[in-house]
């Protein structure tokens, strides 16, 4: 949305600069340039100047704590994960949590920092799909149903979606898979014999 | 090291695209755009302190859908009127009913829109917000939350600042004068 050196509020269609009178209105209004019906809500962050990075202070006093990574820089805080002293340069503020770059990297790698989660596998949905999809060629359910049950059980132990979600899919997958297996057994063993 | 997992509240709107669905959630300090693609979910976070603007523009998708469904419905009604047996009458009625409900729902949901969220470094389409009414609901829900996160600024002052930025933008972006 910001354009050029000075940030302007632009029409979402024609990208023409809008006047203040067209912003933060309760109802949509037509853009004076392209006549598209638009709804524009601007927030104070739009006018905030970019945040500049911190600079570490050089250690002057002999007995003052120094940064673990930069011995000549003054420590301003400590890492909440490993306890190492950190200078302003090494202090990573992650949603109010102060971490050192090493712990940040380790947390990201091990998946301990939910903030860095960008994708998750939905084991319960996978179980339900594996259970339901092969029904049209249903004799194969003898193979797919155990897989679906396994996936459903895995979903109870593996981290699933980060948003609220019920266990219904997993339970449904287990129930349907068991029914499929019973149906298969009934058809191929009891009816045949 | 792990902090307590954030509690997410579902925000208005639900979108569906080619093989994916999207929803928007609100946590204490960020918005979470969840795009589910069958077996996986992808997440994109927008921190409340960084959100600069939310825009929506009306699109013609809703009107085009109404036109197409209306056209099909017209021919289905023609078929229904020419039904010669009870069975045909039943089949045509079911089809007409289906398209009628489809048309009615689309009309009741209101005009479609394309909603975008803007931060200093990105502009991202919110796939979950595809009706103007939903966009208004979303803004009504987010306004107080964003005010709390960024500080309340009177609307008049915001508009003045937008005008000032526009003036400044014209001065800065003006093409060079050739003499």
Burial class of residue A60 in the structure, from the number of CB atoms within 10 Å of its CB (0-12 exposed, 13-18 middle, 19+ buried):
exposed
Is a pLDDT exceeding 90 seen at residue A176?
yes
Chain A within 8 Å of B113 (Cβ-Cβ)?
A: yes
pLDDT tens digits, one per residue of B89-108: 999 999 999 999 999 999 99
Residues in chain B with CB shorter than 8 Å from the CB of A9 are 53, 162, 165-166
Fold designation for A53-118: Herpes Virus-1 (3.30.40)
Give bridge partners of residue A74 from the DSSP assignment.
A66
Residue B156 lies in a domain: no
Residue B163 lies in a domain: no
Mean pLDDT of chain B, nearest integer = 89
* Average pLDDT rounded to a whole number, residues B142-156: 91
Calpha distance B72→B101 (Å, rounded): 13
Q: Which of B126, B131, B160, B138 is nearest to B12 (CA)?
A: B138
Same domain, B47 and B135: yes
In this complex, the residue of B57, B155, B162 whose CB is nearest that of residue A9 is B162
Residue B174 lies in a domain: no
* Contact state of A4 with B169 under an 8 Å Cβ cutoff: yes
pLDDT tens digits, one per residue of B7-44: 899 999 998 888 889 999 999 889 999 999 878 999 99
Residue B172 lies in a domain: no
Most distant CA atoms of chain A, gap in Å: 92
Chain B within 8 Å of A6 (Cβ-Cβ)?
A: yes
- At B123 the three-state DSSP class reads strand
Identify the closest residue of chain A to B8 by CA–CA distance. Answer: A163
* Contact state of B52 with A46 under an 8 Å Cβ cutoff: yes
* Contact state of B57 with A38 under an 8 Å Cβ cutoff: yes
* Average pLDDT rounded to a whole number, residues A61-72: 84
Shortest Cα distance, chain A CAs vs residue B101, angstroms: 27
ipTM of the modeled complex: 0.84
Residue B25 lies in a domain: yes
Q: Determine the pLDDT at residue A65.
A: 86
Domain with CATH 3.30.40 in chain A: 53-118
Q: Which of B63, B1, B91 is nearest to A79 (CA)?
A: B1
Q: Determine the pLDDT at residue B16.
A: 85
Calpha distance B120→A61 (Å, rounded): 40
* Contact state of B150 with A45 under an 8 Å Cβ cutoff: yes
Residue B120 lies in a domain: no
Residue B169 lies in a domain: no
Same domain, B45 and B71: no
| Total number of domains in chain B | 2
Q: In terms of residue numbers, what domain contains B66?
A: 61-109
Shortest Cα distance, chain A CAs vs residue B108, angstroms: 18
Task: Note the pTM of the prediction, 2 decimals.
Answer: 0.81
Is a pLDDT exceeding 70 seen at residue B174?
no
Chain B within 8 Å of A51 (Cβ-Cβ)?
A: no
pLDDT tens digits, one per residue of A19-55: 889 999 989 999 999 999 999 999 999 888 777 777 7
Calpha distance A113→A165 (Å, rounded): 20
Calpha distance B44→B22 (Å, rounded): 11
Same domain, B101 and B81: yes
* Contact state of B56 with A18 under an 8 Å Cβ cutoff: no
* Contact state of A121 with B29 under an 8 Å Cβ cutoff: no
Calpha distance B38→A145 (Å, rounded): 19
Burial class of residue A82 in the structure, from the number of CB atoms within 10 Å of its CB (0-12 exposed, 13-18 middle, 19+ buried):
middle
* Contact state of B158 with A23 under an 8 Å Cβ cutoff: yes
Calpha distance A171→A120 (Å, rounded): 20
Calpha distance A56→A76 (Å, rounded): 9
Same domain, B20 and B49: yes
């Amino acid at each position: 949305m910001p354009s050029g050196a000075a940030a302007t509020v632009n029409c979402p269609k024609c990208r023409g600069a809008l006047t203040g009178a067209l912003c933060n209105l309760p109802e949509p209004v037509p853009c004076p340039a392209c006549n598209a019906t638009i709804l524009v809500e601007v927030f104070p962050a739009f006018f905030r100047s970019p945040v500049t990075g911190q600079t570490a202070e050089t250690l002057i006093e002999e007995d003052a704590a120094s940064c673990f990574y930069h011995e000549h820089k003054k420590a301003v805080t400590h890492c909440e994960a490993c306890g190492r002293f950190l200078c302003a340069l090494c202090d990573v503020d992650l949603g109010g949590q102060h971490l050192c770059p090493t712990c940040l990297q380790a947390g990201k790698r091990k998946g301990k920092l939910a903030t860095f989660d960008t994708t998750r596998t939905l084991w319960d949905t996978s179980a339900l799909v594996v259970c339901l999809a092969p029904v049209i060629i249903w004799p194969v359910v003898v193979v797919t149903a155990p897989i679906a049950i396994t996936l459903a059980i895995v979903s109870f132990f593996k981290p699933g979606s980060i948003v609220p979600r019920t266990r219904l899919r997993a339970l449904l997958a287990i129930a349907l898979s068991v029914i499929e297996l019973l149906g298969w057994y009934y058809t191929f063993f009891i009816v045949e014999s | 090291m792990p902090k307590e997992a954030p509690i997410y509240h579902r925000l208005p709107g639900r979108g569906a695209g080619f093989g994916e669905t999207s929803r928007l959630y609100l946590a204490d300090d960020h918005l979470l755009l969840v795009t589910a693609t069958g077996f996986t979910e992808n997440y994109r976070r927008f921190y409340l302190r960084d959100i600069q603007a939310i825009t929506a523009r009306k699109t013609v998708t809703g009107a085009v859908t109404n036109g197409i469904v209306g056209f099909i419905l017209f021919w289905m009604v023609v078929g229904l009127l020419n039904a010669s047996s009870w069975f045909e009458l039943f089949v045509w009625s079911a089809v007409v009913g289906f398209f009628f409900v489809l048309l009615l729902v689309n009309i009741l949901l209101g005009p479609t829109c394309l909603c975008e969220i803007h931060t200093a470094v990105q502009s991202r389409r919110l796939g979950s917000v595809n009706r103007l009414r939903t966009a208004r609901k979303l803004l009504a829900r987010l306004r107080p939350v964003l005010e709390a996160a960024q500080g309340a600024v009177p609307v008049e002052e915001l508009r003045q600042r937008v005008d000032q930025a526009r003036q400044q933008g014209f001065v800065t972006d003006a093409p060079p004068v050739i003499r």
